[in-house]
Copies of this chain bind each other. A is one copy, B any other.
Amino acid sequence: MKWHITTIGLDADDTLWHNENLFEDHHQKYCELLSEYHDSKTVESVLYETEMRNLELFGYGIKGFTLSCIETAISLTNGEIKAEEIRRIIEHCRQMLLHPVELFEGVSDVLQTLSERFRLLLITKGDLRDQERKIAKSGIAHCFEHTEVVSDKTVEAYARILQRNQIPVEQFMMIGNSLKSDILPVLDLGGHGVHIPYRITWEHERIEAPPHEHDNFYQLESIRQLPDLIEAIVPSINA
């Protein structure tokens, strides 16, 4: 099947650079901090409940996550946790925010190649400031026409981005590691989706099965395979 694609949207966290591994590392430190009170499994499960309860209010991102960590720690220790331990939770947060951006191998070359032929948009969710900082530090900002930071990646959010940028949906392809946030809403609208799973998927982003039967859906193991896929499915008249 050949498609006329003009614009490619790319997710950032865990699609272009590592992110979930920072949370994994934080979870480990957090469980250690609370290990005298509860086992890891209980800590993880109560933290996840708190996060989900706070998600609507706090949104995605490290600051809201940190507030959920503090709240959970107080509740799990019946208020016995020490201020010094809470200070350390905030310090972990700061370390996560300050962490260098680690691009996946091949990302720069792939984006350079794609940007010569397509409009590229970076489409990400979470803390505005944190995402902007990562994009600025990434060294690949120049490959993108611009960046859209949204509070959630819903069908409505994608529709707004497409409308604002005057992109016909059938000419739009989205690349990302989350079926739920990057792929399904775009397929729903009539666009194209390329799923590139990351080693870790946050529980909240997990869905049952990829929509393999969908005509506009593709799955890759690595972003390095993207130019070949596009070569195969987008006719070169696009060039």
Contacts and interface: CB of A to CB of B under 8 A. Distances in A.
A129 B87 contact: no
A119 interface: no
A70 B86 contact: yes
Interface string A73-109: 1100101111110110010011001100000000000
Contact of A151 (B70, B132, B151): B132
Interface stretch (A3-11, A16-24, A55-63): A55-63
A177 B81 CA distance: 42
Contact of A79 (B64, B71, B74, B84): B84
B87 A83 contact: no
A41 interface: no
Given A127-B128, A128-B127, A128-B149, A67 B90 contact: yes
B79 A87 contact: yes
Chain copies in complex:
2
A184 to B, nearest CB: 21
A231 B197 CA distance: 56
Interface residues of A, number: 37
Chain A contact residues: helix, strand, loop or mixed: helix
Given A79-B87, A83-B86, A67 B57 contact: no
Contacts of A57: 94, 97-98, 129
A60 to B, nearest CB: 8
A137 to B, nearest CB: 13
B63 A67 contact: yes
A150 to B, nearest CB: 8
23 contacts: A57-B97, A57-B98, A58-B63, A58-B129, A59-B128, A59-B129, A59-B130, A63-B67, A66-B67, A70-B70, A73-B83, A74-B83, A79-B82, A79-B83, A80-B83, A82-B83, A83-B83, A83-B86, A127-B127, A127-B128, A128-B149, A146-B160, A146-B164
Interface of A: 57-60, 63-64, 66-67, 70-71, 73-74, 77, 79-84, 86-87, 90, 93-94, 97-98, 127-130, 132, 146, 149-151, 160, 164
